[in-house]
Structure formats: structure tokens, C-alpha cells
A and B are shown apart, each in its own frame.
Chain A
Amino acid sequence: MSDVVRRPALRIAWLRPRLFGHRLSVTAMIGILIVVLNIVAAVLAPWIAPFGESDIVGDAWADPDPQHWLGLDNLGRDLLSRMLFGARTSIGLSLIITCLSFSIGILAGFAAAVAGRWLDILLTRIVDLMLSMPTLIFAFIILSVLGTDIPVLIVTIALLDSTKVFRLSRAVAMNIAVLEYVEAAKVRGEGLWWIIRAEILPNAVPPLVAEFGLRFCFTFLFIAALSFLGLGVQPPNADWGSMVKDYRDMINLGYATPLYPAGAIALLTIGVNFIVDWMLAIHSKGHGESA
């Protein structure tokens, strides 16, 4: 409902392209720019990085010069190259983990919503159990016991993260499962898999996409936190989290070195959040219109 007098809309519409049929907000455009730049850097790292990931090219903590734009790190490796390769590891890992956690979480969440009370109770209790322990400590224990190989890291974080996806997708699916077209499919005799895949999933996409963006950020920060504690990506591979850890003491000596990877993490998080905010806004637009 709106009053009869309308606030005139800003007339810069031609500046703002559309995505999914909705005009992008200014922040969303900034977000997309940040994310695209990061992804390009990650994908092209081996070609655009001036030096190798772990090549020692000079003295430790050398100042920036025309060949080494950001200077050298604690072992004399080129910081810019490490940043680019770090983007590759950090973003790639986050993406794989988020995809995996979503596959697990959505499947379990939808199954809990439609497959009947007992499966729902079982899955929900398991998830409650996992959520009752702080995630970082849970991961800490598992990784300490099983070691810090990349596959172990991926599966551990994905499983822990899928509990949150589970809760969202179960709630979303519960709302859809009571609608009559789902009942019609049940009455037709359709199996569980069809109901999940054809009836519920296509209608649950908008909130899940928004959540994907958020979880991607959290995963990113989580890996950074684990790397910072020495349980994430292992040397000599670069990743932004472990770079912050390795360089952290230099901040006391007046060097900006640890701020570069930390800033990159912050920037990407902000960028993704801008896009997610916009997606949530266009998703919620459809609601509340009926008076």
C-alpha cells in the first residue's frame, strides 16, 4: 500500500543494466565487479602472476620495487604472485566446499520435509547434535585427528556447513510441500525423488541462491580461520588465510604486508554480500504486495 503522493524515482535507470529481469542496484554492480575481478585473477593466476607461487626471488621482506609491486614475503617470495595464487586456492576451495555442502544440505533438508515424520526427526536431531558444538572447535578436533589433507578439509567443512543449509532448505521445502501442486503429485503416486527434483527444487531456488552467496563467504572466512590456526591449507601453497598468519608479526614493524591478504578477504566478502543483498531484495519484492 502506498500513499497517493509518490516519491519521484531516480532517473539514472539507463546506467543500471538488468540481471534476471531486475535492474541492478549500484551496490550490486560494485559487488559484481569485485567478484568478477577476483575470479579472473584466480583463474588466470598461472599466466598473469609475474613469479611462481613458491619461487624465492630475493631477500625476505624486501620493499616494493618495479619488478615486485607489493614487495617480498618472509621467505623472499613475490607477494603479488602469492596473492594471485592464494585467490586461486581460497576461492576454488570455498566454491567446491559450498557446492558440496549445498548438495548434501538440500538433499537432506528436502527429504526431511517430504519423506515423513521419522526421517525428519532423525535428521533434525543429528543436525541439532552437530550444531550444539561450536563449528570451529568441531573442525579443529576432526582435522587434528584425521590430518589436514585437502580432501579431508573439503569434506569436513562441507559436512559442518551442510547443517546450516539443511535447516534452511528444510524450512523452505516445508512451506512448498503443503501447496496443492505437491499434494497433487503425491496423490498421483509420484516418488520422493520426483517430488524433490521437479516440484520443490525449482520453486526453492531464489532463497537458496541467496544463501549460497552468504555461505560462500562464511566458508571463505572459515578456511581463512583454519589456515590461520595452521589446520587449513598447508605450506608452501598460498592461501589468503595462511598468508595473514605468516605475515602477522610484520604489522608491529610498520609493514603493510599482512593487510594485503586480509584486505582481499574483506573485499571479496563485501562484494559477495552486496550481490546477495540485492538478490534478497528482489526475491522479497514479490511478497507483501497484496494489501
Chain B
Amino acid sequence: MSARSSDGDILVVDDLRIDVVGDRGKGPCLVDNVSFALKRGEVLGLIGESGAGKSTIGLAALGYTRLGCSITGGQIVFKGKDIRRMSAEERRMLRGSGVAYIAQSAAASFNPAHTIMEQVCEVPVRHGIMSSEKARAEAVQLFRELDLPNPETFGSRYPHQVSGGQLQRAMAAMAMAARPDILVFDEPTTALDVTTQVEVLASFRKLIREHGTAALYITHDLAVVAQIADRIMVLRRGKMIELGNAGQILLSPREEYTRRLVAERVSGHSFLPEQQGEPPLLTVDRVSASYAQLVKVIDNVSLTLSRGDTLAVVGESGSGKSTLARVIIGLLPRESGDIKFRSESLTPRLADRNKDKLRRIQMIYQMPDVALNPRQTLYDVIGRPVRFYFNRTDAQVRARVHELLRQIDLPESFASRHPGELSGGQKQRVSIARALAAEPDLIICDEVTSALDQLVGEEILRLLKRLQDELRVAYLFITHDLGTVRRIANKVAVMRKGQLVAGGDTATVFAPPYHPYTELLLSSVPEMRRDWLDEVLAKRKAAPAGAALRPA
């Protein structure tokens, strides 16, 4: 056993190595030479970009690997016993009662056919730790500790009857039900809105502290892990970069990579001065729209956007920001109001617009994986708009594709590749090139960085800015990440439940006096300070200004 281990250690991982082992022999190494020890009651944050091996390590603590992978070296010692040497039955008993897992998507982790109570009680009852009555009583107690509404009756609901934030907390109750020694949190707040994230994070922290449970907290967001972890391990490409106390990692990181993660992100950039006398590029005037004439999703929204502007549309999920984009594009016809583009009214329906109008408004999507046809080469993907809108010859199309690839900093040789051969950031660059190929006046960016790693997302934002300076294209930038808005947008529109809550120059909207909802959103963005969560919670307790606006 490792020399580092001591009596207080509940989990010791020593020289762990996990490889892809498939039909075609040994594949890439996912985790290499990772060692750490977890004390009772300690929270260790695992942080890194996607592909860093964080979740792989988290699963290994339960004696699992992803399909096609295998633990090929090292030890995982739980309470003095190596998980790799346990019998299958011992490992089964370990899961749930020794180590429990909380996944990113609670909605996918609950069985929709059973009530929450049945599922929370399943582990302790099945493992024979508690009687059914005892488990139920304990579950109610857990619901109370997690600040869930009506803890006595909450368990009788089905998963679809509670909100996303509540379900995520119910999953923590499920993991906690058998009183495990270690909880593995795998990006548990990533799918939640910022305002919900604060509440859930606070509940998790309370739960861990009250029960003295040790935890592995996996996330890509350093600001989140700063609120909850005692120590932080920074991972990159399966290797440990740095391991240290949370304060040390945040304040004085030793490694260059950690410094880049911690560093304040690129500062704001300048915008072109508004051209006097030039009519606005896009005017959305009191537009309303609804799905199937039933649910009003856009309610009386007005916006203006000039050439070279970046207008950020912000709001939580369900606020109607993506729907607004669909209304402008014409995928969802508006019911009232008017949209003017270059001083001409746009028809409500996409099908009624001519090629030139279609060409001038392009769109970049959130998920680069499904935004590009996997069966087309990049030449097809980027060349198609050139051919479609401009009627060029093959040679001209080829030259233009190469030019566009250069503009997005990809080598020309990529033209023959398929999207599957690219990384997420490269795919998003290709999406940008496809939009640029149409030579548009306006590009609608729908959460273009939210599916990407932080550093990759930064590069995409920088590329978009550079292209804006070169081409004077306007962006309508839909995002839930308020951190980026201040830096990239000169105008902002805050949406809530289909309505425009606040709008105007970023400097004005994001400065006091705030609209209460804007203030709530801004105060919910995690900051990279260890005491941020405490401050926010204290402030909210003292002055429940936005209380009515907060989700339950």
C-alpha cells in the first residue's frame, strides 16, 4: 500500500491507470499515474476539461469503467480493501452503501415509472441496511435537510412532477440514503440554471458537512468547486497537473495550466462606434409568438441591432431566448408585431423569404456535434452555402473554402475531413465558417460556447470578435453565461418568461440601479472566491429582494 495512506484515509487511489481496451486491442490511455488519498469528511474537487479523465476516476471509485475501458494498473483502496481484488458480490455491496454516485442528469437517472420515495429507499432496503419504514423516515429527514418543499409528501411525487433543481437534490438524497462513506458528484449542477445552481450547491454543501461524508466533486467549473472543495486536483488528458488545498490552487497555482484556468478571462473588447444616420440592421418591434396558438413563448419583445453590434440575449432556460432566434429566422412564425431587416419587413415564415434575405441572416448552433452532417466532408459543409447562394464554379468554391478555413485558423488540408475527425472546438469553428460562407450581415449565435470547455470557448469568442472587426458582421448572442456578456456584448437584453425584463447598453443594464431580476442573475454567477457562496446566501437571507423571482 502507498506510503501516503494513513488511518484517516477512507479512499486511497495509487498509481491508477485506465485504458481503452476494445476489440481492436489496446486503445488510448484515459487515466495515467493518478494518486490521491481522501480523508473522512473531506471534499476533493476534480477539475479539468472534457477528456481530462475526471469522470473516469469518479467511476473507478465505484469499481466501474465505461464500456470498452479497463483499469489496467494501480490500486483503489476503500477502507483498507482493494476494490480491484474484491469479489463481484463485495463490489455490489460497496456501491450505494460504501460509495454512491450523483450524476449530471438527474432526469435520466430516475426511473419515471416509480415515485421518488421508492427510488430513494431502494438502496438501503435492498442492501438490508434499513427496514422499509426506517428508510422512509430517513428519506423524509434527508428531504428536509436538502430544503426540498413539503418533505413529508415530496417522496410521493414522480420525477417529472418536480423541477430540475429539486430532482438533482432528490438524487443527492438517493445517494445519501444508505449513508455511504463517499459521495461521487459528477457535474451535478452543470445542467442547471445559475439561479438554481446556487440553491443546489448550498444544499449539497450542507448535506456533506452535516453527515461528515467524504466526497469527490467532479466539475469543469473552478468557481463552483471553489465553494465546496477542501482540496482540488487539476487534471489534463488523464494526468494529474496539480493537487493542493483549494485556497492554494485558487490564489497561488504552481502550474502554468492551472494559472490559465484560474486567470481572469480575456478582458472586454472595444466596439465600433455607432455610425450616425445609418438605419439599424435589425428591428424587432413588439413581436409575440406562441406554440400551437396555446402557450405564449415570446411576449411583446422589442429590440434593435446595428451593423457591427453584439447584442446579448440572456435569461434562464425557458425564458424564450432561443425561441426569439427562431422567430427572427422564421422557423416559428410571429403572430403579431414586425421584424425589419435592413429597413424591409421580413415575412413571418421562412419559406416566404427570398434567397438573398436568407443569406444575410445565418445561425450558429449550441451543439457542434449535431450542427454538422456527419456524412459530409468539411468541403461539402462549407462549400454548400457558397455554391447555393453565389453560383460559383468548382474551382471558385474550392478557393473560397480554403480561404474560410484559413480565417477560422484551420489548415486547408482539413477540407477532406469529416466532422467526426474534429474536436468540439474545431467543429464549432467549422460552424462559424459555414455561416461566414454566406457572407451574412447578422449571425445568430445560440449558446455557441456552452457545450465547449472553458478555454476552448474563450478561443471561439476571440475568433468571433476578430471576424466581427474584419467583416463588420452583427451578432445576436444568446447565452445563459452572464460572465461572458459584459466582455463580448455592447448591448444586452434580459429575458424572463418570454418577456423583455431589461434592455439597452450593457454598461447601463449591468450597473446599478439594477432590475431585480438582472441583479438576481448577476449575483448567481459563481465567483472564484472561496467565500462567495456564503456571501450570496447571507445577502439573500438579509434582503430577499429577488425572492419572488427565485425558483422554488
Contact = CB atoms under 8 A, between A and B. Distances in A.
Interface of A: 1-6, 9, 13, 23, 179-181, 183-184, 186-190, 198-199, 202-203, 288-289, 291
A189 B358 contact: yes
A9 B24 CA distance: 11
A183 B83 contact: no
B70 A180 contact: no
B363 A2 contact: no
B294 interface: no
A183 B359 CA distance: 14
Contacts of A1: 59, 64-67
Interface residues of B, number: 41
B388 A203 contact: no
Contact of B370 (A3, A9, A179, A186): A179
A199 B69 contact: no
A6 B23 CA distance: 12
Greatest chain B CB density within 10 A among A9, A180, A198 is at: A180
Interface in B341-365: 350, 353, 355, 358-359, 362-363, 365
Contacts of A187: 329, 331, 350, 358, 362-363
B404 to A, nearest CB: 15
Interface in B321-378: 329, 331, 350, 353, 355, 358-359, 362-363, 365, 367, 370-376
Nearest to A201: B375
Contact of B66 (A13, A188, A291): A291
Given A3-B63, A3-B64, A202 B375 contact: yes
Contacts of B63: 3-4
B372 A181 contact: yes
B220 interface: no
B358 A291 contact: no
A289 B375 contact: no
A202 B69 CA distance: 30
B363 A186 contact: no
A183 B358 CA distance: 13
B84 interface: yes
Given A23-B23, A181-B372, A2 B67 contact: yes
B385 interface: yes
B207 interface: no
B77 interface: no
Contact of A4 (B65, B363, B438): B65
A179 B42 CA distance: 43
B23 A198 contact: no
Contacts of B384: 188
B326 to A, nearest CB: 9
Interface in B63-96: 63-71, 83-84, 88, 91
A170 B58 CA distance: 41
B434 interface: yes
A32 B367 CA distance: 40
A130 B70 CA distance: 52
Contacts of A202: 373, 375-376
Contacts of A190: 388
B464 interface: no
A208 to B, nearest CB: 14
Contacts of B83: 4
Given A4-B83, A289-B67, A291-B66, A180 B367 contact: yes
B21 interface: yes
A131 B374 CA distance: 34
A243 B133 CA distance: 71
Given A23-B23, A188-B388, A289-B67, A181 B371 contact: yes
Contacts of A203: 373-375
Contact of B365 (A3, A5, A23, A180): A180
A249 B63 CA distance: 64
A257 B68 CA distance: 51
Contact of B363 (A6, A9, A184, A291): A184
A183 B355 contact: no
Interface in B222-279: none
Nearest to B435: A184
18 contacts: A1-B66, A2-B64, A2-B67, A2-B69, A3-B91, A4-B64, A4-B83, A5-B88, A181-B370, A181-B371, A181-B372, A186-B331, A187-B358, A188-B385, A189-B353, A189-B388, A203-B375, A289-B68
A181 B419 CA distance: 12
